[in-house]
Amino acid sequence: MMRNRWIKQLIIFAAVVGLLVPALAQAADNVVMYPKISSFVLFLDQSGSMQKTYKPLGKSKIVVAKDILLRMNKEIPELNYMGSVQLFAPDEVLLDPTVYNRETFQSVLEKIPTKFPIFGRYTPMAPGMQKLDETIQRLSGDVAVIMLSDGEANRGGDPVAEATAMKEKYGNRLCFHVISLATKAEGEKVLQQIAQLNNCVYVTAADMQNPELLKNFVKDVFYAFKPVQREVIILRGINFDFNKYDIKPEAQAILDSGVEILKKHPDIKIVIEGHTDSIGSEAYNQKLSEKRAKAVYDYFVKKGISPDRMKTVGYGETRPKADNSTEEGRAINRRVEIKVVK
């Protein structure tokens, strides 16, 4: 008699825990994309040397750079970034900071000129960065500068020194990610030093011909994924008498709390899992577990939860929570659990 009273108290306690503390968990495939940065500037070199051939691809550097930007634009997610498009040598702002929209940026990038003189068109990269600084001052949060250049600076001071000054000014807020079109060692050195200031990304234009590497570059610069935490409704108090699948009165309050959660989150879907103890044949317990899951399903439907949001599954005796060799353990194993799948 004392043992039976203890079992009843255990089940009631489990019901109270299930009612007051719905567990939180995260599904492995429930992830959301989030922005790594707040703002970005596409910063393109249009000096005379960019008309020269980029030997790995046999095309002019400016044509290669423009193609990369257009393909990159197709991979950037629209996550409310503020974005800008700016050219240097000579300096030209093609698009003032605006909320990133793929179609808008495509139309701007398509206007980048690819035919201009080589001679007499020098590369004042440092003054170009000073002009870039004016744009960055208008941007908030973490800012990514995606620089496409061959690094052949020959006018207007030291671009590495200018980039270093900007790093000191903005700290970790600013990162120069470089797509190198360098064909000379000194140009490559300049671009690598700029990218290394804040341990930012450095790739070559040849690398960016690989679609997967281009996608990885965009991901490294622009976004990441994180798991979404959703309420997983594990109603530990929904236990059943031996060989029964009817819902007991004390379980209804627990189920009603599940109904409230489902109505509060109309976008989520659930799986209702039925379980049994180990007494009886496996085949019989399988059917019994399915009936227990269906009983909870019918209760939710009666309370206004759409059938489209629910599935049922029976696990029979295969997933015990407690020791089936004891009466107490078997009572715990005769249960239903409800888990969020979306």
325 and 218 in one domain? Answer: no
pLDDT of 19 higher than 50: no
Q: Summarize the confidence of residues 69-75 as an average pLDDT.
A: 98
pLDDT of 253 higher than 90: no
User: Which token pair is 7?
Assistant: 């079992």
Percent of the chain's residues with pLDDT above 70: 85
Helix segments in 203-280, DSSP class H = 211-222, 249-264
Q: Summarize the confidence of residues 153-160 as an average pLDDT.
A: 78
pLDDT of 4 higher than 50: no
The CATH number for 181's domain is: 3.40.50.410
Question: What was the pLDDT predicted at 71?
Answer: 98
Q: Which pTM value belongs to this model?
A: 0.62
329 and 304 in one domain? Answer: yes
183 and 52 in one domain? Answer: yes
């206004």: which residue's tokens?
A: 304
Q: How far apart are CA 116 and CA 61, in angstroms?
A: 12
336 and 248 in one domain? Answer: yes
139 and 86 in one domain? Answer: yes
- Domain boundary residue, one of 210, 226, 242: 226
Give rounded-to-5 percent helix, strand, coil for the chain: 40, 20, 35
User: Which token pair is 222?
Assistant: 């622009």
Domain range enclosing 265: 2-30+229-340
The lowest-confidence range among 30-34, 61-65, 171-175 is 30-34
194 and 324 in one domain? Answer: no
54 and 25 in one domain? Answer: no
The CATH number for 311's domain is: 3.30.1330.60
Question: What was the pLDDT predicted at 342?
Answer: 66
Q: Tell me if 276 sits within 8 A of 316, measured CB to CB.
A: yes
pLDDT of 309 higher than 50: yes
233 and 208 in one domain? Answer: no
207 and 277 in one domain? Answer: no
How many structural domains are present in the chain? 2
The lowest-confidence range among 27-31, 47-51, 98-102, 103-107 is 27-31
